[in-house]
Amino acid sequence: EAMKTMNHIPAPRAGTVKRILVEDGTPVEFGAPLLIIE
């Protein structure tokens, strides 16, 4: 969500976000895990 606009993000398969691994605003490195999806 950016400026109250929702964006569709296509995914190769269905899933549910079970856990978010980083806090909002935290810098991350390329390849770092961000979410747990089941």
Q: What residues make up the domain containing 34? A: 13-38
Does 6 reside within a domain?
no
State residue 19's pLDDT score: 96
Residue 15 CA neighbour count, 13 Å, CB half: 12
Does 7 reside within a domain?
no
Does 3 reside within a domain?
no
Does 27 reside within a domain?
yes
Q: Give 7-35 pLDDT, tens digit per residue.
A: 788 888 999 999 999 998 999 999 999 99
Does 20 reside within a domain?
yes
Whether the CA torsion 22, 28, 7, 5 is positive or negative: it is: positive
Does 33 reside within a domain?
yes
Q: How many domains does the chain have?
A: 1
State residue 9's pLDDT score: 81
